[in-house]
């Protein structure tokens, strides 16, 4: 228990019933979870009967490492995973009662969009994505197509519910699930099959849930059935950091806990170990107007610290330039010391946070102009792009013909005249005889369920995959690999597929450039110019394409290298949650952007839905403020771009709510200029003294 404060110790030691730990920002929630895992094991609970559920793979990996440092090798038996990974595990083991084979396919967002376009008879991706959001919302609310149709409010919703029914049919035919199903289907398993529910309740002795405020209605029902009526769980969360309402997260789950579990123990963690008192005071003031489920006030013992500053700028370009100047000034020498900010050698100590992705463009221009290295966080990883995932699926299929998700992606991308009914028949046949989809292609019994044309198309595809595998195995070195990959893309018509699938030719061209870059990168790996694991230039032996393809799982580590680079972070507020930096700038804090679109409240009448959105926007501001450890600047511009026009802007209402001391909050550019001039004069004097010393005979 060393290093834990009294509230943390209470949370760790409470093991005999349902527990809610209200963990304020920076209050050590991960420490509490990992220490409680150790305490449960110390109390006699087997490691394999402890489950810790998080929302991201990154959080799960961090929790696993910290648990290992506490309890050693036994930690490997603790189930530490995301909600979705838990769902996969449950369905791999018990999905057969729902008609799923163990190697079902998990479809990504792009796969789903494509299937919905087919199911709804449209070529418009935007329409399909709108259907996708609506269907996802229904699924997160626990509705199937029939229930959604019964509750449809208008003709548009009735159309989407009908499309949803066709979509569900296709998923069943493809032996596939989407991400929402990874929660909804395990819930169905536990709710409708008592023997499965009993098995999992016996297997899991205690569940710890991280970021509980981000759970949706379906996840809450799944949790209830998993822990049983005795409520063997510890939920760790913060209602003030609930910022994902737009994707189904609901604070109702926090409200329901004391009702569903009357013996619930509530413990508040209010001591912040991250930020100074000045920063926390601003955070407490901002969040105060929101209604409180469980009131709490953060405090810090790290001292008052530098005052929170507000910077007003003439334009977004001016704002970006001042951000760059501030970073250079704090990171510098004597001027930074004079200002009390201290000296920081690392660029990674700085972050600029904003409400929406498009706000990064102007900031990036200013960073490049000032020669400040940076990365944009919260955007799409290169290896998450649909076109790169397409190519990786083909490579995976060459290496492992039994990879059903890769098979489904390849056989339909680009389209080759093989429809969902044919794939549905193939999937049913493969499931019946416990074969992979690829194995089923050449089964002597397959002609009994498919007509000659469909059979011919499928077997032609199978032979082509075998041919590609043979060619890949015998293609060695960079130049030959580059030639082979180019021929393959031409044979399958991938460039045409990209252009046909995009309304915007520039977008298609950019996607094709990504494909060429990926192929060039693969070729360099074949030539030994890039190390397989680290992605750095080395003198390695040449490899064939299949050998390189076998390491495809390592490709994601290339993008992970970004986190270790010494660069300034530019990030959306949503993507910044869970992170922290010594110095933070909150950019673009104007009405219309943060909070987002307040003009929705027409005629000055604030609707209930807008009031709820405003509360979430206030929580988003709170999250941004509490990312800062030592210094915080809140920045806004008097004009902002709206479409192609420049319109007058007003400072965000949240700036006033921070209730800052106006004597210290306004950053005076004249004082900053004086400090920079003093620093320049000192450096000039030092350079002159060094030159004089070098010119003196006999000087060391």
Residues taking part in catalysis: 29-30, 210-211, 241, 627
Rounded Cα distance between 276 and 278, Å, is: 5
Other CB atoms within 10 Å distance of the CB of residue 17 = 14
Phi-psi bin for 641: left (phi > 0), alpha (psi -120 to 50), beta?
beta
Radius of gyration of the chain (CA): 28
DSSP letter at 657? H
Q: Which residue has the tokens 């004097």?
A: 685
Rounded Cα distance between 586 and 668, Å, is: 18
Residue 279: both structure tokens together = 């920063």
E strand segments, 330-443: 350-354, 374-377
CA atoms within 13 A on the CB side of 617: 24
The answer to whether residues 675 and 329 touch, using CB atoms and an 8 Å cutoff, is yes
Q: Which residue has the tokens 């304020």?
A: 24
Rounded Cα distance between 642 and 508, Å, is: 26
DSSP string across 429-495: HHHHTT--HHHHHT-TTGGGTS-HHHHHHHHHHHHHHHHHHHHHHT-BSHHHHHHHHHHHHHHHTHH
Residue of 274, 344, 335 lying closest to 302 (CA atoms): 274
- Helix, coil or strand: residue 68: helix
Residue of 530, 560, 566, 563 lying closest to 548 (CA atoms): 530
The answer to whether residues 556 and 37 touch, using CB atoms and an 8 Å cutoff, is no
Spatial neighbors of 566 by CB under 8 A, at least 6 apart, are: 346, 347, 348, 373
The answer to whether residues 34 and 63 touch, using CB atoms and an 8 Å cutoff, is yes
Long-range CB pairs of 526-530 (<8 Å, 24+ gap) are 526/475, 526/476, 526/477, 526/478, 526/480, 526/481, 527/477, 527/478, 527/479, 527/481, 529/478
Rounded Cα distance between 78 and 207, Å, is: 11
Angle at 121 between CA 117 and CA 122, to 5 degrees: 60
Rounded Cα distance between 488 and 94, Å, is: 39
- Distances in Å between the Cα of 171 and the Cα atoms of 97, 124, 142, 177, 265 are 16, 21, 17, 6, 42
Rounded Cα distance between 221 and 200, Å, is: 15
Q: How far is CA 273 from the centre of its chain?
A: 25
Residue 193: both structure tokens together = 């099959």
The answer to whether residues 274 and 576 touch, using CB atoms and an 8 Å cutoff, is no
- Helix, coil or strand: residue 291: coil
Spatial neighbors of 56 by CB under 8 A, at least 6 apart, are: 82, 578
Q: Which residue has the tokens 């197509």?
A: 145
Rounded Cα distance between 215 and 234, Å, is: 14
The answer to whether residues 298 and 280 touch, using CB atoms and an 8 Å cutoff, is yes
Rounded Cα distance between 660 and 479, Å, is: 63
């Amino acid at each position: 228990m060393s290093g834990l404060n009294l509230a943390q110790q209470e949370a760790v030691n409470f093991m005999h019933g349902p527990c809610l730990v209200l963990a304020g920002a920076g209050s050590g929630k991960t420490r509490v979870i990992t220490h409680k895992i150790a305490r449960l094991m110390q109390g006699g609970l087997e490691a394999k009967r402890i489950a810790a559920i998080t929302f991201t793979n990154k959080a799960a990996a961090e929790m696993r490492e910290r648990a290992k440092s506490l309890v050693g090798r036994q930690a490997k038996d603790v189930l530490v995973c995301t909600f979705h990974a838990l769902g996969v595990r449950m369905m791999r083991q018990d999905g057969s009662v729902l008609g799923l084979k163990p190697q079902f396919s998990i479809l990504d967002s792009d796969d789903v969009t494509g299937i919905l376009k087919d199911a709804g008879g449209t070529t418009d991706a935007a329409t399909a994505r709108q259907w996708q959001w609506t269907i996802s919302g229904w699924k997160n609310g626990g509705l199937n197509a029939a229930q959604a149709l019964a509750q449809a409010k208008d003709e548009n919703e009735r159309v989407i519910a009908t499309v949803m029914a066709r979509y569900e049919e296709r998923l069943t035919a493809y032996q596939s699930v989407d991400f929402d199903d990874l929660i909804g289907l395990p819930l169905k398993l536990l709710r409708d099959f008592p023997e499965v529910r009993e098995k999992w309740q016996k297997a899991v002795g205690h569940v710890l849930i991280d970021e509980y405020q981000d759970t949706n209605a379906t996840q809450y029902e799944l949790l209830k059935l998993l822990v049983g009526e005795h409520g063997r769980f510890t939920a760790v969360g913060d209602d003030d950091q609930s910022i994902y309402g737009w994707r189904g997260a609901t604070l109702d789950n926090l409200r329901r806990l004391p009702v569903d579990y009357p013996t619930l123990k509530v413990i508040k963690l209010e001591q912040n170990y991250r930020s100074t008192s000045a920063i926390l005071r601003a955070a407490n003031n901002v969040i105060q107007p929101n209604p409180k489920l469980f009131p709490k006030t953060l405090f810090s013992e790290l001292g008052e610290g530098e005052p929170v500053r507000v910077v007003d700028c003439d334009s977004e370009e001016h704002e970006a330039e001042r951000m760059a100047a501030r970073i250079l000034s704090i990171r510098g020498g004597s001027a930074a010391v004079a200002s009390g900010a201290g000296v920081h050698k690392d660029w990674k100590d700085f972050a600029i946070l904003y409400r929406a992705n498009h706000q990064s463009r102007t900031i990036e221009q200013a960073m490049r102009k000032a020669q400040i290295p940076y990365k944009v966080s919260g955007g799409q990883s290169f290896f998450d792009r649909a076109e790169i995932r397409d190519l990786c699926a083909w490579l995976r299929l060459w290496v492992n013909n039994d990879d059903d998700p890769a098979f489904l992606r390849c056989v339909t991308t680009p389209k080759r005249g093989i429809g969902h009914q044919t794939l549905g028949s193939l999937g049913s046949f493969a499931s019946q005889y416990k074969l992979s989809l690829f194995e089923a292609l050449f089964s002597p019994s397959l002609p009994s369920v498919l007509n000659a044309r469909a059979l011919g198309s499928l077997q032609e595809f199978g032979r082509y995959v075998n041919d590609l595998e043979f060619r890949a195995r015998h293609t060695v070195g960079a130049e030959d690999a580059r030639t082979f990959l180019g021929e393959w893309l031409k044979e399958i018509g991938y460039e045409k597929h990209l252009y046909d699938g995009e309304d915007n030719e520039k977008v298609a061209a950019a996607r094709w450039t990504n494909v060429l870059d990926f192929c060039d990168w693969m070729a360099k790996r074949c030539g030994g110019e890039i190390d397989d694991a680290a992605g750095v230039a080395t003198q390695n032996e040449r490899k064939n394409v299949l050998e390189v393809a076998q390491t495809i799982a390592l490709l994601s580590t290339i993008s992970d290298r970004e986190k270790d680079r010494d660069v300034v972070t530019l990030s959306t507020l949503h993507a910044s949650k869970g992170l922290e930096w010594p110095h933070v700038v909150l950019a673009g804090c104007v009405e219309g952007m943060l909070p987002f679109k307040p003009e929705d409240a027409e005629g000055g009448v604030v609707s209930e839905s807008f009031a709820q959105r405003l509360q979430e926007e206030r929580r988003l501001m709170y999250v941004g403020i509490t990312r800062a450890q030592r210094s915080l600047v809140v920045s806004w511009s008097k004009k902002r771009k709206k479409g192609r026009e420049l319109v007058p802007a007003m400072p965000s209402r949240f700036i006033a709510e921070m209730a800052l001391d106006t004597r210290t909050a306004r950053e005076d550019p004249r004082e900053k200029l004086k400090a920079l001039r003093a620093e320049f004069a000192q450096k000039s004097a030092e350079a002159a003294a060094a030159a004089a010393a070098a010119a003196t005979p006999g000087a060391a």
